[in-house]
Amino acid sequence: MKSKLLLLLFMVFAITSCDDLIEPAIENNRGLEDMYAEAEYAQGILLNAYTRLPNNGYSFSEVATDDAVSNVNNNAYREIATGQWTAQNNPFDQWQNARAAIQYINIFLAETDKVTWSEDEEISSMFNDRLKGEAYGLRALYMYYLLRQHAGWANGELLGVPILLEPEGTASDFNQPRATFEECMQQLYADVEQAEALLPLDYETLSDLPEGYSDLGDYNRVFGEYAKQRMTGRIAKTVRAQAALLAASPAYADGNTTTWADVANYAGEVLAENGGASGIASDGHTWYKNDSQISGIGGGDNPPEIIWRTDVVETSDLEQQHFPPTLFGDGELNPTQNLVNSFPMANGFPITDPASGFDPDNPYENRDPRLDHYVVVNQSTAGPNNSNIVTAADGSTNDALNAVETSTRTGYYLKKLLRQDVNLDPVTSNTQQHYTARMRYTELYLIYAEAANEAWGPEGTGTFGFSAYDIIAGLRERAGITQPDAYLESIGSDQNSMRELIRNERRLELSFEGFRFWDIRRWGDDFTVPARGVSILDGNHETITVENRVYEEYMRYGPIPFSEVLKYDAIIQNQGW
């Protein structure tokens, strides 16, 4: 038997290549040349960049700020907020992910002109243009993420990241120095310009043929509705406004040439196409729970508030994580008293203003209606049955302050982003439709307001015909602030007061969507403000310190990954890390 087995093995070796036995057969390995005649495979290279988009879900980095805490002990943002942020422990890290996406983009750009996208040469050329435009727009987006997460000062210079425009291979020199922040911004602007030149503003089926094209049917085949939710000219322009806002902000302004007027012009260009100040969506502040609107989304369409979004999915994951315990949730994220105090009264005045009418014994009465939309406070109703949620420290349920591990630590629960018609009761559980907003018009309106106020003052309009004042007035009226807005009118010509109001409106409108951490840093605000809560005993509301924030000044800028600095001596670490 042994002899027969040896003979059989010898015969296998004799008729089979040793390479094929030890390694996969060469015909099983896909090479770049395979993409030239196989359009789907070629497009898959680019799709790798889409799958790496970091904002496909909510990570709630607010836990690292004064807006929220987590009741999960090993929450990554809780750890860094309490003194464990290092170049080796960085949940904000985008270095590997974004650079991998850019590598795929660069491979695609280097090869796409060789691909047969269609047997019809004109259609093939149109597909090539569109997909290259998407690639340039995505590369700009990933550059923005890299700068936001990793740019910083070193040796007296504001540095960005290495600029990579060609695919890296085995013969490449990976030990590349970081370009300056200014050089990175100019590259980002150049990529957006390329994207604008190649992409339509939006993907839509047209009835009139755009100039420069010969066949309407062919145009709609390439640039029509089926491509919705891919990179567009409008999205690329929004990326430029986002990045410019970062660059013009106090923490970065000394290291580049982007001005506040630039930011306002970039944002204003997109907003002018949305109707200017009158284009503010009436229900944009509750986009996540506009159920009839969500259920009616089809074919990649966007609600009026949305510039870019993910697919709509049936889920109850967010509710499971963040509903109060009595609604069968885990109560993971708890808004702070700091955030609750930033909601004005319904008459628009801050609660610290004597004209507000704020009653500390009834602190949730007559408040800005957004407070009820975004935060579960003591005696709120929540869930599919409008259950009463008692968070008072002397409450009798698991919703009370620190009652059990899944209870609130601050006296508040998250309400924003959650569908209250989700039922987690195991007996009658259900799911509801959700989507994630990648870009919202409200963010763009707030970018414009902030930049216009800095560039031209509260009432300056630049070339667009609407001012920072107009934008804030529209957002606050939409929110339900009593009209006329006496507080806004009282500070309407004061640039400093308007700056504070715009920043506060941004804090409220974009709460729990991943902005607060970056805003505090780019503004140069105090990021060591403790996270506070409320203890309610016998009707008395006492502010308590829940969690201290342990940051050093150099942490205003994130680190380069420690492993990269170890591997490459050309990579300089940001100061302090």
Average pLDDT over residues 258-283: 98
Q: Is the pLDDT of residue 15 over 80?
A: no
The parent domain of residue 206 ranges over: 34-61+86-258+558-567
| Burial degree of 199 (CB within 10 A; 0-12, 13-18, 19+) | buried
Q: Is the pLDDT of residue 14 over 70?
A: no
**Cα dist from 88 to 2, 18, 64, 146, 486, whole Å:** 55, 43, 17, 17, 50
| Any domain includes 507 | no
Q: Is the pLDDT of residue 183 over 70?
A: yes
| Any domain includes 423 | no
Q: Interior CA angle at 227 toward 435 and 213, to 5°?
A: 150
Q: How confident is the model at residue 27 (pLDDT cuts 50, 70, 90)?
A: low
b/e code 292-321 from CB counts within 10 Å (16+ = b)? ebbeebeeeebbbbbbbbeeeeeebebbbb
Of 67, 76, 247, 152, the closest CA to residue 552 belongs to 152
Measured CA to CA, the distance from residue 191 to residue 199 in angstroms comes to: 12
Measured CA to CA, the distance from residue 370 to residue 340 in angstroms comes to: 10
| Any domain includes 43 | yes
What is the pairing mode between strands 432-434 and 413-414? unpaired
Average pLDDT over residues 315-330: 98
Condensed to tens digits (0 to 9), the pLDDT of residues 472-487 reads 999 999 999 999 999 9
3-state SS of the chain: helix, strand, coil percent to 5? 45, 10, 45
Q: How many CB atoms lie within 10 A of CB 19?
A: 10
Q: Interior CA angle at 504 toward 460 and 362, to 5°?
A: 135
Residue 29: predicted pLDDT: 66
Measured CA to CA, the distance from residue 82 to residue 546 in angstroms comes to: 11
Condensed to tens digits (0 to 9), the pLDDT of residues 325-362 reads 999 999 999 999 999 999 999 999 999 999 999 999 99
Q: Is the pLDDT of residue 40 over 70?
A: yes
**Percent of the chain at pLDDT exceeding 70:** 94
| Any domain includes 176 | yes
Q: Is the pLDDT of residue 20 over 90?
A: no
C-beta of residue 377 within 8 angstroms of C-beta of residue 412: yes
Residue 253: predicted pLDDT: 98
Backbone angles phi, psi at 560, to 5 degrees: -80, 140
| Any domain includes 275 | no
Measured CA to CA, the distance from residue 258 to residue 244 in angstroms comes to: 6
| Any domain includes 120 | yes
Condensed to tens digits (0 to 9), the pLDDT of residues 358-381 reads 999 999 999 999 999 999 999 999
Residue 57: predicted pLDDT: 62
The whole-chain average pLDDT of the chain stands at: 94
Residue 322 host element (H or E)? helix 317-322
Residue at token pair 């968070």: 391
Average pLDDT over residues 186-210: 97
Measured CA to CA, the distance from residue 167 to residue 234 in angstroms comes to: 27
Residue 32: predicted pLDDT: 81
C-beta of residue 434 within 8 angstroms of C-beta of residue 420: no
Of 51, 39, 1, 75, the closest CA to residue 531 belongs to 75
Q: Which sign, positive or negative, has the C-alpha torsion 112, 115, 117, 120?
A: positive
C-beta of residue 50 within 8 angstroms of C-beta of residue 141: no
The domain tally of the chain equals 1
Residue 12: predicted pLDDT: 37
Average pLDDT over residues 192-211: 96
Please state the pTM of the whole predicted model. 0.94
| Any domain includes 27 | no
| Any domain includes 207 | yes
What is the CATH number for 223? 1.25.40.390
C-beta of residue 162 within 8 angstroms of C-beta of residue 178: yes
On the question of a cis peptide bond just before residue 304, with omega within 30 degrees of 0, the verdict is no
Residue 298: predicted pLDDT: 84
Backbone angles phi, psi at 181, to 5 degrees: -60, -40
Q: How confident is the model at residue 560 (pLDDT cuts 50, 70, 90)?
A: very high
Measured CA to CA, the distance from residue 332 to residue 14 in angstroms comes to: 63
